[in-house]
Amino acid sequence: MRRAEGGGMALWRGLRCCRRAFAWLPVLLIALLLLWSYYGYVCELCLVTVSNPVEKVAYLVVFHILFVLFVWTYWKSVFTLPIQPGKKFHMSYADQERYENEERPEVQRQILAEIARKLPVYTRTGNGGIRFCDRCQLIKPDRCHHCSVCAMCVLKMDHHCPWVNNCIGFSNYKFFLLFLAYSLLYCLYIAATVFKYFIKYWTGELTNGRSKFHILFLLFVAIMFFVSLMFLFGYHCWLVSRNRSTLEAFSAPVFQNGPDKNGFNLGFVKNLQQVFGEEKKLWLLPIASSQGDGHFFPMRTLSEARNPLLTNEEQWEEDGIDEDNSLLAIE
């Protein structure tokens, strides 16, 4: 029996390692495409095909600026770890025992409500109860959700993105938006500057066969990714303007007065500041500048702002959250 159990555990661990390895394939694909686009544009287009030295230098300068911004934002999106709720949202051992030993659902709801009185949480479940994660054993802060892929609760979770092999949430949503923006500009710039030489190859004005192949595929891949990224980036711009996450767009957050899809909508400018911060000089750089710490978000309605639980907010701010800031340092 023990050997069978040991063999089952080894198989499970092996499958888990394989799943983790396969999860990096989309990231590897993007890295390879990026390296090939660099070679195709710099070597085959600028160094081999373009003959005008002024045009060549101008192309290379702008290209490398966009390339650095693209790689920088993508790196930050991939390797910025999602942030979990602070210790104050985790149930104590005594509360866990009391909650698990209680079989009556209504009493369990009362226990969660007692714990939540000390916390700035205002969103509820569909039936009006406190949002509780039984896997992480914590009270979920507003806009926090459990990611089944990362196996953790993520502050202001937006979605889990396979193309960055990471959960997009409070810690890296700004980086993800900038990644979409700069990848869009990168593809647009390549398509715009390559198109003239694609026509020259097409009409027979240029005849270099190897460069012709690279330029043809540079144009095709750039246009293909530009179209797909344009829709994705446009959708997330709309979400930011409404101060919603992808999850909230599909399922409106529930407050004590019921569901409200605009519950966190503070107006266009304040919505932008929620994600990008108040320092405009940092808006276009992948540097952490989002407002708050991801545990509490201002709400639109006065009825929510006057919630009795707000009496504990000052105490909450004084106590602070013992959060490991090294997670953000990895950004």
Question: For residue 16, what are its two tokens?
Answer: 């888990």
Q: Which of 268, 296, 215, 174 is nearest to 42 (CA)?
A: 215
- Residue 249: which residues within 8 A CB-CB, separation 6 or more? 239, 261
Q: Find where tokens 């309605």 sit.
A: 301
CA gap 101, 150 in Å, rounded: 28
Other C-beta atoms closer than 10 Å to the C-beta of 152 total: 18
Among candidate residues 144, 161, 167, 187, the one labeled active-site is 161
CA gap 63, 22 in Å, rounded: 31
* Residue 150 among the catalytic residues: no
At 224 the three-state DSSP class reads: helix
Q: What is the DSSP string of 9-55?
A: HHHHHHHHHHHHHHHTHHHHHHHHHHHHHHIIIIIIIIIII---HHH
At 301 the three-state DSSP class reads: coil
CA gap 248, 317 in Å, rounded: 26
Q: Which of 243, 239, 251, 253 is nearest to 122 (CA)?
A: 253
CA gap 193, 49 in Å, rounded: 12
Q: Which of 133, 165, 164, 136 is nearest to 149 (CA)?
A: 165
Question: For residue 35, what are its two tokens?
Answer: 């390296």
At 124 the three-state DSSP class reads: strand
Mind telling me the catalytic residues?
161
